[in-house]
C-alpha cells in the first residue's frame, strides 16, 4: 500500500490520543471510518486494503484489533473525529519553516511554502551537480576506453562533451530563472499583502460610513413621522375649521335669503306707502293752494276796505293809517311770498322724492316724519 495513502505521519505539537489513531497503520486518521459493532476506527485506505486482502483470501472480514467479524453496512464515515483531527496543531515539515497551524490548513500552506521551493531548488542543483559529476566520471572512463580508437570517435566524444556542457549551462540558466521567479513571487506576495491591508482599511471606513448613514436615515425617519403626525393634526384642525366655516356660510346664505325675501316685502310695502303719501300730499297741496287763494282774496278785500276808510279820514290820521296799513300789507305780502315759496319747495320735493330714499331708511315711521315736516312747512295741523 502506498505510504501516502496511510494516516498522517507529521510533526504534531501535542500528544495524539489513541482514539485518533488508525487501528491498521497506527498513524493519525486520514478520512476516518468507524466500525459500529466494536467502535474501532481506520483510515479509509487502510480499511479498503484490509477488505481487498480478505476478499482475495476468501476469508471473513474481521477487525485486526479484536478479531471480531465486520459487517460492511455497520461501517460509516466518522465526521466528528474527522473534525477533531482537522483541529490538531501541526508544524511544517520543510527544513527551516516555522509555520504552525491546524492540520486542515497544512495542504494550502505546502502549496505556498517558500522553504519547500528553496529545498526543491537545492535538490535540483544537487541533482544537476551529481549528474554532471556522474557524466564527467563516465566521460573519463569513456576517454580511457576509447583512447585506442581513431580520431573520429574522439571527435564524437568531444562533441558529446560539448553538448553535455551546453546542457549543464542550460540547467544553470533554468536554476537562475527559477531563483529570479521566486524573488518576483515574493515581491508580488508582499504587494498583495499591502493591497489587502489597504482594502481592509477601506472596508472598515465604508462600514463606519454606512453605520453613520443608517443613523441619519433613522433620524430622518423619526423627523418624518413627527412631521406626518403634526400634518395629520393640522389637517384635522383645518377640516374642523372648514366644516365650521361651511356651516357658518350656509347659515349666512340662509339669512341673506331671508333678508332678501324680507327686503322685497318691505320694498313692496314702502312702494305702496309712498304712493299713498304722494296722493295725500297732492290732496294736501290742493287744499293748501285753495287756502292761500282764499287768504289772498281776503287780503284784497281788506285792502279795498282800508282804501275806503282812507278816503273817509283826515290827512293826519291818514298818514298813520297808511303806515299801519303798509306795515300790515308788507307783513301779509311776506306771508303770501313765504306760502308761495313753501308751495314751490313742496312741489320740488315731491317731484324729487324717490323710492330709494325711503327704502334706505331703517325706521318704519320715516314716511310719517316726512309727511309731518311738509305739513309743518305749510302751517297745516295734522
Residue 143 and residue 74 share a domain = no
What is the pLDDT confidence band of residue 293, given thresholds at 50, 70 and 90? confident
Bridge-partner residues for 77, per DSSP? 33
Which has the minimum average pLDDT: 177-191, 216-230, 239-253, 290-304?
290-304
pLDDT reported for residue 43: 95
Alpha-carbon span 148 to 150, nearest angstrom: 7
Residue 278 and residue 204 share a domain = no
Element (H, E) at 102: strand 100-102
Domain assignment of residue 246, yes or no: no
Residue 382 CA from chain centroid, whole number: 89
pLDDT reported for residue 124: 55
Could you give the angle at the alpha carbon of 262 between the alpha carbons of 256 and 267, nearest 5°? 120
pLDDT reported for residue 260: 76
Domain assignment of residue 238, yes or no: no
Q: Domains in the chain: how many in total?
A: 3
* Under 8 Å between Cβ of 68 and 62: yes
Domain stops at, among 65, 84, 112: 112
Alpha-carbon span 18 to 28, nearest angstrom: 9
Could you give the angle at the alpha carbon of 362 between the alpha carbons of 358 and 366, nearest 5°? 50
Which ranges constitute the DSSP H helices of the chain? 44-56, 79-86, 106-112, 114-145, 151-312, 315-352, 355-359, 366-378
User: How, if at all, do strands 75-77 and 89-91 pair?
Assistant: unpaired
Range of the domain at 49: 3-112
Residue 101 and residue 125 share a domain = no
Residue 26 region, left (φ>0) first, then alpha (ψ -120 to 50), else beta? left
C-alpha cell at 102: 491546524
Domain assignment of residue 351, yes or no: yes
Closest CA to 48 of 68, 28, 27, 22: 22
Residue 163 and residue 132 share a domain = yes
pLDDT reported for residue 381: 45
CATH number of domain containing 39? 3.30.40.10
Question: Which residue has better confidence, 37 or 328?
Answer: 37
Amino acid at each position: 500500500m502506498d505510504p501516502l495513502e496511510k494516516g498522517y505521519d507529521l510533526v504534531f505539537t501535542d500528544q495524539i490520543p489513541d482514539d485518533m489513531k488508525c487501528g491498521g497503520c497506527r498513524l493519525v486518521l486520514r478520512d476516518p471510518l468507524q466500525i459500529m459493532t466494536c467502535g474501532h476506527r481506520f483510515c479509509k485506505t487502510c480499511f479498503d486494503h484490509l477488505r481487498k486482502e480478505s476478499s482475495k483470501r476468501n476469508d471473513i472480514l474481521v477487525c485486526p484489533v479484536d478479531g471480531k467479524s465486520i459487517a460492511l453496512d455497520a461501517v460509516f464515515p466518522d465526521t466528528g473525529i474527522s473534525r477533531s483531527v482537522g483541529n490538531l496543531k501541526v508544524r511544517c515539515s520543510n527544513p527551516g519553516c516555522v509555520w504552525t497551524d491546524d492540520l486542515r490548513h497544512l495542504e494550502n500552506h505546502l502549496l505556498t511554502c517558500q522553504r519547500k521551493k528553496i529545498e526543491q531548488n537545492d535538490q535540483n542543483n544537487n541533482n544537476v551537480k551529481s549528474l554532471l559529476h556522474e557524466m564527467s566520471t563516465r566521460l573519463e572512463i569513456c576517454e580511457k576506453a576509447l583512447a585506442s580508437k581513431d580520431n573520429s570517435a574522439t571527435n564524437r566524444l568531444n562533441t558529446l562533451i560539448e553538448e553535455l556542457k551546453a546542457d549543464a549551462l542550460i540547467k544553470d540558466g533554468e536554476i537562475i530563472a527559477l531563483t529570479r521567479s521566486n524573488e518576483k513571487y515574493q515581491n508580488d506576495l508582499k504587494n498583495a499583502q499591502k493591497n489587502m491591508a489597504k482594502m481592509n482599511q477601506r472596508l472598515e471606513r465604508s462600514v463606519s460610513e454606512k453605520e453613520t448613514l443608517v443613523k441619519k436615515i433613522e433620524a430622518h425617519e423619526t423627523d418624518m413621522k413627527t412631521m406626518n403626525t403634526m400634518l395629520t393634526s393640522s389637517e384635522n384642525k383645518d377640516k374642523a375649521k372648514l366644516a365650521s366655516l361651511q356651516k357658518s356660510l350656509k347659515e349666512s346664505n340662509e339669512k341673506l335669503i331671508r333678508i332678501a325675501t324680507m327686503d322685497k316685502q318691505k320694498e313692496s310695502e314702502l312702494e305702496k306707502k309712498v304712493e299713498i303719501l304722494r296722493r295725500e300730499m297732492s290732496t294736501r297741496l290742493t287744499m293748501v293752494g285753495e287756502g292761500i287763494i282764499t287768504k289772498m282774496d281776503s287780503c284784497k278785500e281788506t285792502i279795498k276796505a282800508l282804501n275806503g276808510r282812507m278816503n273817509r279820514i283826515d290827512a293826519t290820521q291818514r298818514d298813520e293809517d297808511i303806515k299801519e296799513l303798509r306795515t300790515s300789507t308788507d307783513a301779509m305780502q311776506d306771508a303770501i311770498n313765504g306760502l308761495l315759496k313753501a308751495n314751490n319747495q313742496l312741489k320740488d320735493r315731491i317731484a324729487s322724492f324717490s323710492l330709494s330714499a325711503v327704502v334706505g331708511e331703517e325706521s318704519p315711521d320715516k314716511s310719517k316724519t316726512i309727511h309731518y315736516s311738509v305739513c309743518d312747512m305749510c302751517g297745516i295741523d295734522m
